[in-house]
Structure 1
Amino acid sequence: MKLSLRTALILAILVGLLLPATIASYLRLDSQLGKARLQSQRDHARLADILMLGMQEPLWNLSPESGRPLLDSVMSDERVVRVLVSDNALGTFLAANRPERRQGQRYTLTRMVSKQGTQIGKVTVEFDDGRVIAQIRGEQRQTIVSVLVQLAVSLGLILFLLDSRVVKPLAALSRQSRKLAEQELDEPFIWKREDELGQLGHSLEATRQSLKSLIDTLEQKNLQLEADLISRRHIESALRASQDRFQRLVESTRVIPWDANPEEWRFIYVGPRAEALLGHPLAVWYHENFLSTYLHPDDRHLAYQLFTTAHAGTPVEFECRLLARDERTVWVHLLAEHRRDEDGHHLQGFLIDITARKTAEIELEHYRGHLEEGIEQRTRALAAANHELEAFAQSVAHDLRSPLRTIEGYIEVLLDDYGERLDGRARSYVTRMRGTMRHMGALIDDLLTLSRLSRSEVRRQPVDLAELARGIGEELQALHPERTVRLTLPGRLVVSADPKLIRIMLYNLFDNAWKFTARNPDPAIEFGITEANGQQVFHLQDNGVGFDMAQVMRLFLPFQRLHPPGEFDGNGIGLAIAQALVRLHGGRIWAKGVPGQGAAFFFTLPEGRLR
């Protein structure tokens, strides 16, 4: 591009004036944009953390109403577009969406919600930075307008100053320069100005007088050229020294370079560390058939692979054993590649000592064999110990039942033969003793049942849970004819499960619900199925006395009761049996409750419904 001096000066001055201001404004606005985005990220993370902490109790207690105020507080921030609170078991818990706030780039953060070491859900917050970005874009537009105004004012001033102080004096200098180029040196160049352009005019006069010294200047240039040639020779010498250092560096490492003649099967160069590798002098390495001679007998076929395959242009890489001078076996990793240049064919590569690694691998394989043998022995010992433990439990139960039955028999004889001679307090004591003996017998039976169930084999087949639930309800109603309980059951609910074990599990859940709804004038039990996160979840819900969720960790422990012993019947083993049976089927069971408002038990069967 050809520009006039005037145009070039105007452009240079404008760029010099406006470019720094433009760059500074851009950097300032870019910094503001970065700070705004960073602050948005911090606010986003802070809101997600607040929502995660605040949703622990609502999720744990399944109370969306208690979490709604916090959700509305988060949505009051104009940058929040969407909030989603999910329960791990039931899916969406709370949600809010304001799509009209989407103006710019959106960011999403997800936090997991945990309670008492258990992950119960997650919260997701979607954030939009459109408002902040729009504000900064407005400042950018204001900056552009101010720069354009500055451009117009500066252009007028520059045009005026250039014409009077630069362009016209430069035109005179241009005319005198042409005379100097055309060797019109008779007329002197006279300048009355003392500014920079005047000094340039005086310099033109000095240039005219300097032309006579042009030959001397050329000679100086020739001398400089000779100095450059000497410097080049010095650089070539330094390059050769650098190559020598590189060669010494390669030869001093554990990697041994080599070069071979593939036609003669002979090394023509081997790194000096090869002598320390095997103990053979370097002269021996250069003998014909060195590799085929000093390769381990089981690896000598690799020499043919090395020289024949590499000769065809295919890289070769393998591990082999070499025989050292002191009869040691040295493992090496050999890499080779065929090269073709003006000196002919060459086979070049490296030797790397891997003896230590191979020794470690062999020892590791040896230890792995011993470890597998030890694991098998431990497995057999564990199976034998489990068998002995089961036999011991049966023996202890039998040994405990015999004296219990004897004591209970004596108590019956005492009541039958001497009951009339005993006063009321004595008969009460004897009756309590009999009840205690029977309770202890029930505890022994429950312990044995729990022990057997934990080792039971699950034999799955189609089972209708709804039909089982109806039969259990009729059985409980027959046992308690004085009560009427409303049962809500599905029409058909077929699953793949062990029919015997799954009935025991359902009976314990229904018996638990039946027992704890005794004080409700209108007792009700509901059994059904829901879907949460693509998984089938079965539930059994009652309107009984409920329980405090702070005690939920004790609910499925054997003999742990959340109510005083005399308040409700039972020995605290039913829910533990139900949990063991659900786990045998590969599922999980959990519960939620509110004191005075009933309880709900949830369980899953991984193979799901059949239909």
Structure 2
Amino acid sequence: MDKALRLLIVDDSREDAELMLHTLKLGGYAVTCQLVDTLEAMRTALEMEQWDLIVSDHAMPCFSAPEALALAKEMHPELPFVIVSGEIDLNLAVSLMKGGAQDYIQKRELARIVPAIERELREVEANRMRRRMESALAASEIRYRRLFETAKDGILILDAETGKITDVNPSLLEMLGCSSTELIGKKLWKTDIFADTFASKRAFNELEKKGYIRYDDMPLITRDGQQIDVEFISNVYAVDDRKVIQCNMRNITDRKRAEGQVKILDTYLEARAAELEAANSQLEAFNYTVSHDLRAPLTNINGYCQLLMELCRDILDSQYLGYLQEINNGVLRMNKLIDSLLNLSLVSRSELHRERVNLSETARAVAAELKLMEPQRRVTFKIADGVVVYGDMSLLQVVMENLFGNAWKYTSKKERAHIEFGVTDHGGKRACYVRDNGAGFDMSNAEKLFNVFQRLGDTEEFEGFGIGLATVKRIIQSHGGWIVGEGEAGKGATFYFTLDDQLQHEVLNTEMKKEVAMAQT
């Protein structure tokens, strides 16, 4: 296939031009050309087209090779320029070559034009490639320098043969608090930045052998004598005909300090865990004491009271019998208080066993028990169907017993009581609730609701110890949820609670998908 060639011919002889084109065609070129013989025509041709080469005659009636060469160098200095002439003074030819012409060919040796053009085109392509490589190298060096200057890690560049520092980036200078003149030109182990000079020289020798070293923790000394810890990475690579060493240093002083604080914290937490373990052991011992040793004298007091009331019923008057009954009632209240405290303690330390729990069924069972205890009361229960959660069944049973028991107690003065259980949106969360139309409470004291031994309302009118709601709160929190109470004195109260929202959503959705899949099969 012929090689394409765009040729600008400066000549006043069309016959000579056609002879040249014939020679080039025989040499394997498909030539696109334009023939010009004046300065203006050549300028226009150079402005309008892109050319691979200019071939010019020496002397023409209105133009000459020196003029053509000057115009070519002015407009396209890299465009090859070859003189083809019949006869020319040798000195003039040399002068034109010095002025930028690439070659001189006599018309009687026109066959030389083909290898001359091939040579010049190769030279042009080589020059273009060299410029591209130089441009790419310059761009690469700029990018490297930009990275070098802006890197947050400290960087040192060393001569691999001498160990002398040849470059240092701003981050390392800032890290060490010194100037580049204090480091550049010095051997690495002759500087004062390494805490252990012998170790730094040994590291350099190791690097020369292996080509790569890394230290996760190396001490450096700043200009003001402070020690900092760095992560040190160094490797050897070639640049042109010499080897260089690059050392990257990352300041890990803050990280080491934080790790030290974490270790201190871990030690502290281990000590606290041991203390908590001891406290739990003491609590278990206390629970045993409460369950057995404290109950024993209460049981004795209760037994003697019952015996005295039986044996002395005919001897003692009603006032003294009333005293005995008050003693007995006090003992019963103390037993209930002990039971409540023990339940609260057990709830705080119970391990959760999560499973699917139907709170609607639990609520109905609790409501039925309350009705059996006081069948004479007129209480309407409204319990939503299908309220299913994922949690500890026994602990959630305690939650429902306490919330329903609370509602049952505080509606005891109502002729027609109403207790409701269901699910609603509260603060953007799916929350269960227990609502009643009982005594309610003043919201200004709501923060006391879930504290142990804190009770709202008339403590004489309604029995209790203020432990039930505290127990409920601990159970709800152990499930990753929250509980709040809202009420108004004389108009009832509502308690809203949630469990771990994300867990509930994931588990129940999974179970629903399984049920749907089973139904489809």
TM-score grouping bracket, smaller chain normalisation: 0.5 to 0.7
Match of 1:569 among 452, 456, 463: 463
Q: Rate the CA distance shift 1:561–1:362 in 2: closer, same or farther, 3 A.
A: closer
1:553-597 per-residue CA deviation (whole Å, 9 max, x = no partner) reads 111222222223331232322222222221222211111111121
Partners of 1:330 and 1:544 lie apart in 2 by 69
Q: Rate the CA distance shift 1:604–1:281 in 2: closer, same or farther, 3 A.
A: closer
Q: What is the 5 A alignment of 1:254-265?
A: 261-262=159-160, 264-265=161-162
Q: What is the 5 A alignment of 1:5-24?
A: none
Indicate the SS of the match to 2:315: coil
Aligned to 1:433: 327
Q: TM-score, normalised by structure 2?
A: 0.54
1:119-168 per-residue CA deviation (whole Å, 9 max, x = no partner) reads xxxxxxxxxxxxxxxxxxxxxxxxxxxxxxxxxxxxxxxxxxxxxxxxxx
**1:492 CA displacement:** 2.0
Indicate the SS of the match to 2:301: helix
Aligned to 1:267: 164
Aligned to 2:44: none
- Contact in 2 for aligned 1:462/1:496 (Cα 8 Å): yes
Bigger radius of gyration among the two: 2
Question: Could you tell me which amino acid in structure 2 is paired with residue 431 of structure 1?
Answer: Q
Match of 2:414 among 480, 498, 520: 520
Any stretches of 5+ residues in structure 1 without a counterpart? Answer: 1-254, 283-291, 310-315, 324-328
- Contact in 2 for aligned 1:525/1:543 (Cα 8 Å): yes
**1:454 CA displacement:** 0.8
Q: Rate the CA distance shift 1:530–1:426 in 2: closer, same or farther, 3 A.
A: same
**1:384 CA displacement:** 2.7
**1:457 CA displacement:** 1.1
Partners of 1:454 and 1:331 lie apart in 2 by 46
- Contact in 1 for aligned 2:302/2:328 (Cα 8 Å): yes
Q: What is the 5 A alignment of 1:347-358?
A: 347=244
Q: Rate the CA distance shift 1:386–1:276 in 2: closer, same or farther, 3 A.
A: farther
Q: Rate the CA distance shift 1:273–1:567 in 2: closer, same or farther, 3 A.
A: same
Aligned to 2:56: none
**1:349 CA displacement:** 7.0
- Contact in 2 for aligned 1:487/1:525 (Cα 8 Å): yes
- Contact in 2 for aligned 1:294/1:322 (Cα 8 Å): no
Q: Rate the CA distance shift 1:473–1:318 in 2: closer, same or farther, 3 A.
A: closer
1:458 aligns with 2:352: yes
Q: Rate the CA distance shift 1:590–1:413 in 2: closer, same or farther, 3 A.
A: same
- Contact in 2 for aligned 1:515/1:568 (Cα 8 Å): yes
Aligned to 1:509: 403
Q: Rate the CA distance shift 1:375–1:581 in 2: closer, same or farther, 3 A.
A: closer
- Contact in 1 for aligned 2:452/2:466 (Cα 8 Å): yes
Corresponding residue pairs, total: 330
Partners of 2:154 and 2:363 lie apart in 1 by 79
- Contact in 1 for aligned 2:207/2:234 (Cα 8 Å): no
**1:416 CA displacement:** 0.8
Q: Rate the CA distance shift 1:538–1:298 in 2: closer, same or farther, 3 A.
A: same
Q: Rate the CA distance shift 1:267–1:556 in 2: closer, same or farther, 3 A.
A: closer
Aligned to 1:560: 454
Q: What is the 5 A alignment of 1:206-225?
A: none
**1:377 CA displacement:** 4.1
Aligned to 2:490: 596
1:287-330 per-residue CA deviation (whole Å, 9 max, x = no partner) reads xxxxx997454664433566x99xxxxxx99986899xxxxx99
1:316-350 per-residue CA deviation (whole Å, 9 max, x = no partner) reads 99986899xxxxx9988688998979xx7584878
Match of 1:408 among 302, 327, 332: 302
Aligned to 2:424: 530
Aligned to 2:381: 487
Match of 1:302 among 207, 217, 236: 207
- Contact in 2 for aligned 1:530/1:537 (Cα 8 Å): yes
1:84-141 per-residue CA deviation (whole Å, 9 max, x = no partner) reads xxxxxxxxxxxxxxxxxxxxxxxxxxxxxxxxxxxxxxxxxxxxxxxxxxxxxxxxxx
Match of 2:311 among 417, 420, 440: 417
1:388 aligns with 2:261: no
Aligned to 1:608: 504
Q: Rate the CA distance shift 1:431–1:362 in 2: closer, same or farther, 3 A.
A: closer
Partners of 1:345 and 1:452 lie apart in 2 by 76
Q: Rate the CA distance shift 1:331–1:468 in 2: closer, same or farther, 3 A.
A: closer
Partners of 2:276 and 2:244 lie apart in 1 by 60
Question: Could you tell me which amino acid in structure 2 is paired with residue 267 of structure 1?
Answer: K
Q: Rate the CA distance shift 1:297–1:363 in 2: closer, same or farther, 3 A.
A: farther
Question: Could you tell me which amino acid in structure 1 is paired with residue 207 of structure 2?
Answer: L
Partners of 1:361 and 1:394 lie apart in 2 by 48
1:584 aligns with 2:484: no
- Contact in 2 for aligned 1:545/1:597 (Cα 8 Å): yes
Q: What is the 5 A alignment of 1:226-241?
A: none
Q: Rate the CA distance shift 1:430–1:467 in 2: closer, same or farther, 3 A.
A: same
Q: Rate the CA distance shift 1:412–1:531 in 2: closer, same or farther, 3 A.
A: same
**1:476 CA displacement:** 0.5
Question: Could you tell me which amino acid in structure 1 is paired with residue 459 of structure 2?
Answer: P
Indicate the SS of the match to 2:439: coil
Q: TM-score, normalised by structure 1?
A: 0.46
Q: Write 1 or 2 for the structure with the bigger share of helix.
A: 1
- Contact in 2 for aligned 1:394/1:448 (Cα 8 Å): no
- Contact in 2 for aligned 1:296/1:322 (Cα 8 Å): no
Partners of 2:219 and 2:286 lie apart in 1 by 58
Indicate the SS of the match to 2:414: coil
- Contact in 2 for aligned 1:529/1:539 (Cα 8 Å): yes
Q: Rate the CA distance shift 1:387–1:350 in 2: closer, same or farther, 3 A.
A: closer
C-alpha RMSD of the superposition: 4.3
- Contact in 2 for aligned 1:518/1:544 (Cα 8 Å): yes
- Contact in 2 for aligned 1:260/1:267 (Cα 8 Å): yes
Aligned to 2:113: none
Match of 1:375 among 269, 276, 281: 269
1:528-567 per-residue CA deviation (whole Å, 9 max, x = no partner) reads 0013465321011111121111111111222222223331
Q: Rate the CA distance shift 1:533–1:296 in 2: closer, same or farther, 3 A.
A: farther
Q: Rate the CA distance shift 1:322–1:402 in 2: closer, same or farther, 3 A.
A: closer
Aligned to 1:59: none
Aligned to 1:544: 438
Any stretches of 5+ residues in structure 2 without a counterpart? Answer: 1-152, 168-179, 192-196, 222-226, 513-521
- Contact in 1 for aligned 2:381/2:420 (Cα 8 Å): yes
Indicate the SS of the match to 1:454: helix
Partners of 2:216 and 2:473 lie apart in 1 by 57
Partners of 1:473 and 1:432 lie apart in 2 by 31
Partners of 1:565 and 1:268 lie apart in 2 by 84
Identity of aligned residues (%): 33
Higher relative contact order (CA 8 A, sep 6+): 1
**1:601 CA displacement:** 0.8
**1:504 CA displacement:** 1.2
Aligned to 1:101: none
Partners of 1:494 and 1:577 lie apart in 2 by 21
- Contact in 2 for aligned 1:547/1:596 (Cα 8 Å): yes
- Contact in 1 for aligned 2:355/2:390 (Cα 8 Å): yes
